[in-house]
Chains A and B, each alone.
Chain A
């Protein structure tokens, strides 16, 4: 059984950019522990010396000619998607 403490979950949430309530932290922590316990059954498999597979396309280094294509989307359209903008720029809260 993989035990995930509230502190572990809080740390994971921070790494993940998720601000969770205490209730959510507890509830997610326990179910994550269950899932991690389940996936540990992979330890039954011997994988020494096996090359990992990260992608299955069978493709490598796909090239295309460097043709400049006109964008189908205008700056105005993109800015309209932003929750807040000002003077043709996206507005965010103070960073520093």
Chain B
């Protein structure tokens, strides 16, 4: 069922104006303020754009496939109409002079951004508790975390404030909050969607994707955003074409992620999903991927290294926060950055500086990049035998607010199942698969070979179709 198509159909058919649609979404967003899912609204610009679309419909113009559809972007996307803070004090008042390519493309298709979503500051985290502006609450249970780092985007989608929201996924930041809030979350293949105008975290894995309530809607949004961009030279030549009919597939269930250390409810939901796929005519086989248990260690070397380099640009000189009362340039850098970053940002920058420093470069950074090659090779072998790999998104449903904040290693372990495809640049999606005994949403993860994004979505669409 497509919420997006419903809205576009009503607006283009003259049954509802774009303005009324946007006003309703803004009202719903304001009513959901207890969740702290949104950091700002782009109200004025959104209403102006809605009026423009309504006028163009009256004039009989083509207003695009997403005409009048409200959406939210994670606050690390540069967008007009509100500051782009990356949920940090460093960029608290930063007004972007340009927009991200993804946002521009969605606007060109008629979609209307209504606000900017809370996140872990600079996308460092897995719970949205690292936001400088307070945590976001889970959409289903306010005692629980939203997941992260794209927690706000997941929550506004789950609360039906908007039919879709954008997020970024470096090691699971779309898939894990999607699982925790019971929505669809797509991390496309590395290079499918332009990252121009998005605050960089770890350039070798950063990917842009979306949250929706159906795989069909995800496909609509991705079809608009995908494609080569001369302003992001890591984008791949256009390849994404939505797919409908699928032949019976061979699907591998990753054994290493179905062990005793994984929550029993999570395992049960994954097993049920696998049964459902079998009923739809697919073959499911258990597969072993021994190296996958080392992926988290690779990730927490490679990613902090790239973070320490990417975040060096925040110097308090050209934009962003500048500390007051400093007398030297070194003090200006040191104090502006210390005041502007949250603890987790600092931790990752320091780890990055450590693993890149001359005495440790080979033992840590090089070692991890070599291990990454082995991981990629193992995926390649598996994809010679299987069309799709299946497993949980996270070892547990949403954990409690404050539960993991004191222990970074424990917090990082929540990413253990989502980082492997990120390191290999593979497409991976999180699809809702029921709830735990506590009533918390549980997602399953579908992983595809590089550039097999459309196949994954087609499989997810088929499973959704079975439910109706």
Interface residues of A (CB under 8 A from B): 4, 9, 12-13, 15-20, 24, 27-28, 31-32, 34-36, 38-45, 47, 50-59, 62, 64, 72-73, 77-78, 81-84, 90, 92-95
Contacts and interface: CB of A to CB of B under 8 A. Distances in A.
Nearest to B319: A81
Interface in B428-451: 450
Chain B interface residue number, banded:
35 or more
A19 to B, nearest CB: 3
B346 A42 contact: no
B347 A56 contact: no
30 contacts: A4-B354, A12-B353, A13-B350, A16-B308, A17-B330, A17-B333, A17-B334, A18-B337, A18-B350, A24-B346, A28-B346, A35-B408, A38-B409, A50-B370, A50-B371, A50-B374, A51-B370, A51-B373, A53-B373, A53-B376, A57-B191, A58-B236, A59-B234, A59-B236, A72-B98, A83-B320, A90-B317, A93-B328, A93-B329, A94-B327
Contacts of A53: 369-370, 372-373, 376
Nearest to B190: A56
Contact of A45 (B230, B291, B301): B291
Given A20-B346, A28-B347, A42-B294, 6 more contacts: A24-B343, A35-B412, A52-B366, A53-B373, A81-B95, A92-B329
B338 A19 contact: yes
B351 A36 contact: yes
A39 B297 contact: yes
Contacts of B95: 81
Given A19-B338, A93-B327, A42 B409 contact: no
Given A20-B346, A81-B318, A35 B367 contact: no
Contact of B357 (A15, A42, A52, A57): A15
Contacts of B1: none
Nearest to A8: B354
Count chain B CB atoms within 10 A of each CB in A24, A53, A95 and give the residue with the most: A53
Contacts of B49: none
B233 interface: yes
A51 to B, nearest CB: 6
B322 A84 contact: yes
B315 interface: yes
A24 to B, nearest CB: 7
Contacts of A47: 367, 370-371, 374
A19 B297 contact: no
Contacts of B376: 53, 56
A38 B408 CA distance: 11
Contacts of B332: 92-93
Contacts, number: 172
A52 B191 contact: no
B443 to A, nearest CB: 24
The 4 closest A-B pairs by CB, nearest first: A19-B334, A56-B425, A52-B369, A83-B322
Contacts of B204: 54-56
A51 B376 CA distance: 12
A9 B317 contact: no
B272 interface: no
B447 to A, nearest CB: 14
Contact of B334 (A18, A24, A31): A18
Interface in B314-363: 315-322, 326-335, 337-338, 341, 343, 346-347, 349-354, 357
A92 to B, nearest CB: 6
Contacts of B190: 56-57
A36 B343 contact: no
A38 to B, nearest CB: 5
Contacts of B423: 56
B147 to A, nearest CB: 21
B424 interface: yes
B13 interface: no
A28 B318 contact: no
Contacts of A16: 308, 337, 346, 349-350, 352-353
Nearest to B308: A16
Contacts of A28: 343, 346-347, 350
B341 A19 contact: no
B399 interface: no
A54 to B, nearest CB: 6
B97 A52 contact: no
A90 B318 contact: yes
Contact of B230 (A52, A57, A64): A64
Contact of A94 (B205, B329, B368): B329
B191 A83 contact: no
Interface string B15-48: 0000000000000000000000000000000000
Contacts of B327: 93-94
Contacts of B354: 4, 12, 32, 36
